[in-house]
Amino acid sequence: MFLAVDVGNTHVVLGLYNKDKLVKSWRLASNRERTEDEMAVLIENLLNLEGEKIKGIQNMAIASVVPAITETFCRLSKKYLNIKPMLIQAGEDYGMPILMESPQEVGADRIINGIAGYETYGGPLIIVDFGTANTFDCISAKGEYLGGVISAGINISMEALFHKAAKLPRIDLVLPEHALGKNTKESIQAGVFYGFAGQVDGIVKRLWQEIGSQTNVVATGGLADMLFGVSETINIIDPLLTINGLNLLWQRKQNQK
């Protein structure tokens, strides 16, 4: 069995694979204080629910933007699995040309998204990843990483709103029926959903102008399903794009041996 680990600032997404088949995926809170022993117990319990054991994990690949959690998984793999995980790192060659001024600045998750998106949907392509930050990654028809956009994510924006506006209540992220809110809760929800949908559409349309053609727009990340259908430009939703990309890279590595 193969374990794909996508570590973000807000969530850790795990994907358990049997070759190219996804068996199960899980989304955990990113906790920098969690030890390798605690993480091992947590993973063991999740696997038990599927009739699997942690010792059945023979290989692991990690894409991470949180070094502390990366180290936790590296210690876990050594202590409990006796394996060395494959670490996806910026600046290394994974078969996709990075046409940036400083290729080493492109995060591991964005590289994986680009590779998985192009392999799955072809190019040209724009991938929108909704996470702690919202990222827009542009892939050419030739499979080149052209560049992208980074903006504040939905959760960060909401936290800033509640922190700075003391009288505004915390709300659940639920799509309102109308853009015209009839109370404070509906007004905030409308601002979040239609505001971010408008941001996505505005950025995508500007990127289309610079790329020179309209492309497929793939949404991924924990909040992707919330904006799908609200945005005018997103036409594909793939919440597990990153972990599928990790499995894809691992399988390629095995086939090269």
Residue closest to 80 by CA, chosen among 61, 52, 56, 64: 56
Helix H or strand E segment including 60: strand 59-64
Where does residue 105 rank: exposed (0-12), middle (13-18), buried (19+ CB within 10 A)?
exposed
The one-letter amino acid at 29: A
Distance spanning both ends of the chain, measured CA to CA: 18
The answer to whether 83 and 60 have CB atoms below 8 angstroms apart is yes
Structure tokens at 232: 């005018």
Q: Is 66 helix (H, G, I), strand (E, B) or coil?
A: coil
List the catalytic residues: 109
How many residues are listed for the chain in this entry?
257
The answer to whether 177 and 193 have CB atoms below 8 angstroms apart is no
CA atoms of 4 and 63, how far apart (whole Å) = 8
